[in-house]
Amino acid sequence: MMIITRWMGGLIKIWDAVLDIFFPPLCLSCRRYLDQPEKPDLLCAKCLNGVDVYNFPFRLAPDFMLAAAGSYENAALRALIHYFKYERFLAAEKPLSEIMIKHLEIAGIQFSDATIVPVPLHPKRLRARGFNQSELIAAKIAVHFDLEMKTGLLRRIRNTAPQMEIENHEERHKNVRKSFEVPAERVGSVKGRVILLVDDVYTSGATMTEAVKTLRRAGASKVIGAVLAKAG
One domain, residues 101 and 29: no
The answer to whether residues 216 and 187 touch, using CB atoms and an 8 Å cutoff, is no
pLDDT classification of 40: cutoffs 50, 70, 90: low
One domain, residues 111 and 162: yes
Identify whether 45 is part of a domain: no
One domain, residues 169 and 192: yes
| Tens of pLDDT, residues 121-142 | 999 999 999 999 999 999 999 9
Identify whether 145 is part of a domain: yes
Tell me, what's the pLDDT at 164?
77
Identify whether 154 is part of a domain: yes
What is the count of structural domains for the chain? 2
The answer to whether residues 90 and 170 touch, using CB atoms and an 8 Å cutoff, is no
Length of the chain equals: 232
One domain, residues 35 and 55: no
State the pairing for strand pair 115-118/148-149: parallel
State the pairing for strand pair 222-230/115-118: unpaired
| Tens of pLDDT, residues 89-111 | 898 999 999 999 999 999 999 99
One domain, residues 15 and 119: no
One domain, residues 64 and 7: no
Which range of residues forms the domain containing residue 24? Answer: 1-39
Identify whether 71 is part of a domain: yes
One domain, residues 11 and 73: no
Between CA 32 and CA 38 the distance in angstroms is 12
Identify whether 208 is part of a domain: yes
Identify whether 25 is part of a domain: yes
- Residue 141: left if φ>0, alpha if ψ -120 to 50, beta else—which one? alpha
Identify whether 46 is part of a domain: no
Domain of 163, CATH number, reads 3.40.50
* Helix, strand, coil distribution of the chain in percent, nearest 5: 45, 20, 35
Report the predicted TM-score, pTM, of the whole model to 2 decimal places.
0.85
One domain, residues 112 and 27: no
One domain, residues 78 and 180: yes
Q: What percent of the chain has pLDDT over 70?
A: 87
